Structures are given as structure tokens and as C-alpha cells.
Amino acid sequence: MTDAPPTPLELDGWRHVYSGKVRDLYVPADTPEGGRAERMLVVASDRVSAFDHVLSPGIPDKGVLLTTLSLWWFDQLAGADGGRSIPNHLEPSRLLTRGPDGVPNTPDDVVSLIPDEVIGRAMVVRSLDMQPIECVVRGYLTGSGWAEYLAEGTVCGIRLPEGLSNGDRLPEPIFTPAFKAPMGEHDENISFERTVEIVGAQRAEELRDLSLEIYRRAARTAEARGLILADTKFEFGLDENGVLTLADEVLTSDSSRYWDASAWESGTTPEERMASFDKQIVRDWLAANWPAPREGEPPRLPHEIVERTAARYRELLERLTG
């Protein structure tokens, strides 16, 4: 990655420890240097990345939109959708109550920990021992999955039926893990066998089964709102009791591909079928305007692309939670 790292905000009561391409991580200021914190503050910025490059300018309100979406999904998966409760990394009291608008209330003790500058785009989470696997689930064929299928007839080593097109629904959702690369390196698609070598057979099965369960549930929820959840990525960590816990952001338009269901049904070209509510708009623009190997400074996103992406992010939130 050639892009300069972002300058993190100074936040009262917190110490900055890490910045990813999109989010900044903080631990309580009284955490000893190098010591383990119980809680963390995850702050989502308006930064947008594509092909592992952070682009300029950011997408207005993206941090708030993605945080709101993530919190809403955590709540759905904690049982609001009628399913069993999936353990997640939000502070336990986070989901206990809901306001009149249906949005979960954040208890005062947790809210008071979130500095004013980042309210709405920050989550207080339990610090977990993260698993080094990005748990990708695909229900539809596109992106890197489509590229591999074209070349080899497989996705992450899983053989698929012949004759599929870009954007087609898969016979059933598949688990296609990636090894989570250290900062600055590309995540690497791996086979299930390789996942077993990294985390052990039992853990690998647990990650796969939980990921598929969450994907199926979320895809049903999305479908009821006229949306297709084409694919998504989860991250899990172990809590202090060794419980596998859903972490990071969930089912956001950064970690997932969402399409409009009616456009997909009636569309004839891949562009018409995959009417995206995610950063595909940015990826497509960058692919067309900055060909591989994409060295040096990426070109600046035009106003029109930024606005269109922001509008689609807002529309996704409204369609899902509205």
C-alpha cells in the first residue's frame, strides 16, 4: 500500500493504537503500553478503499451510515429477527433496550465513553482475540469469485457447475475463507483445508458453519426488503471465556455486496442485474480509470461518483431499517 496513513483524532479518555484503511482503533487511555485492554473504541471514518487503496475524497457520512447499519445487524442477529442469539463483541448491555424508533438504546455508561467528536460512528466493543481468517460467504458469483471461476471453474478451490454467468445465484451459499494479511498486505483467498491448517479442524468447521448460518439469516432479512445479499465477510474472535464471537463490522456496504432484487430479476446485462448498494460503484470507476498495476497515487474520485455512492449507502440503510 503506497497511500499515506491517516492522521488519527486525539480522543479524550482513549489512546490510538491502530488505523486500518477505514477504521481507527483506540484503547482506554489508562491501558499500560503493550498491555491488553478489555474494551476498545472502533471509530469508522468516511474513508473509502478499493483495490486496497484509500481514495480521496471520502464519502460524506459513510462512517455514520456504516456504524448504524452494523449496529442494526448486530441487533437482528442477537435475536431481533426471530433467530437464536449470536454472540457479538458489543458491550453486553448494548442491546438490552430499544427506543420508540426501534433503534437500540445505548446505555449511559457506554455512551459516556464515546467522545462527542465521534458519536454516531463509534462503537465500544469487547477486545477479542481475533481469528486470522476473513470468513467470506458467497451466495452469488461475482468479483474475485467470478474471475477465479472463469479461469479455473472453481471458487477458492470449490468446483461449481459449468455455464454460470457473472452475477448468477449459486446452487447454495459457499464458504470461501481468506487469510487475514498483516496491515498493508493483500488478504489471500485460501482453501478450507488451509483454514484447517491455520486454526485447526474444529475451529474451521465452527467458523464455516456460523458464517453460513449468519449469511442465510441475513439474506432472508434482506430478501424481505427487496435486496439481494450477494456476498459478505465476517470476522470472529474469542472472548475471555473462549466463546467464538462475531466482531468487526457486520453486513455493511463495505463488507458486503447488496443488489436490488427486482433489477437482478429483470436485468439482462451484468450492469443491470447487479445494481449495487455498496462500493462497487467506486471499484468500477477505479477499474475503468486507473488500470492495473495501479501504482502511485490513485486518481481523485469525481464528485458524481462520490454523490452516487453516498446516495446508494443512504438508500440501503433506509430500505433495510426503514
Site string (231-260) toward ligand ATP, x via CB under 6 A: ----x-x---------xx------------
**Does 23 interact with ligand ATP (rule: CB under 6 A)?**
yes
Spatial CA neighbour of 52 closest among 181, 151, 195: 181
Tell me the C-alpha distance between 276 and 75, whole Å.
Answer: 24
Integer CA distances (angstroms), 199 to 175, 212, 241, 242, in order: 15, 18, 18, 14
Is residue 43 a contact partner of residue 292, using CB atoms and an 8 Å limit?
Answer: no
Integer CA distances (angstroms), 283 to 5, 6, 83, 179, 322, in order: 20, 21, 34, 22, 27
- Nearest residue (CB) to ligand ATP, 8 versus 267: 8
The number of beta carbons lying within 10 Å of the beta carbon of residue 15 is 17
- Nearest residue (CB) to ligand ATP, 178 versus 281: 178
Biggest CA-to-CA distance, the chain: 58
**Does 91 interact with ligand ATP (rule: CB under 6 A)?**
no
- Nearest residue (CB) to ligand ATP, 85 versus 165: 85
Q: Which stretch binds ligand ATP (CB under 6 A): 14-22, 27-35, 213-221, 283-291?
A: 14-22
Tell me the C-alpha distance between 16 and 29, whole Å.
Answer: 9
User: Least distance (Å) from ligand ATP to the CB of residue 161?
Assistant: 32
Those residues whose C-beta lies under 8 Å from the C-beta of residue 115, and which sit 6 or more positions away, are: 11, 12, 13, 14, 122
User: Least distance (Å) from ligand ATP to the CB of residue 211?
Assistant: 15
CB burial string 255-274: b at 16+ within 10 A, e below: bbbbbbbebbeebeeeeebb
- Please tell me the count of residues contacting ligand ATP according to CB under 6 A: 18
Q: Which stretch binds ligand ATP (CB under 6 A): 15-23, 70-78, 263-271, 287-295?
A: 15-23
Could you say which residues in the range 113-142 bind ligand ATP, by CB under 6 A? 125-128, 130
User: Least distance (Å) from ligand ATP to the CB of residue 17?
Assistant: 10
**Does 87 interact with ligand ATP (rule: CB under 6 A)?**
no
Tell me the C-alpha distance between 245 and 131, whole Å.
Answer: 10
**Cell numbers placing 230:** 450477494
Those residues whose C-beta lies under 8 Å from the C-beta of residue 61, and which sit 6 or more positions away, are: 46, 310, 313, 314
- Pick the binder of ligand ATP from 11, 22, 59, 78 (CB under 6 A): 22
**Does 147 interact with ligand ATP (rule: CB under 6 A)?**
no
In the bound state, the residue with its beta carbon closest to ligand ATP is: 20
Could you say which residues in the range 36-65 bind ligand ATP, by CB under 6 A? 40, 49
**Does 25 interact with ligand ATP (rule: CB under 6 A)?**
yes
Is residue 124 a contact partner of residue 91, using CB atoms and an 8 Å limit?
Answer: yes
- Nearest residue (CB) to ligand ATP, 130 versus 196: 130
Could you say which residues in the range 176-215 bind ligand ATP, by CB under 6 A? 183
The binding site for ligand ATP (CB under 6 A) comprises: 20-23, 25, 40, 49, 89, 125-128, 130, 183, 235, 237, 247-248
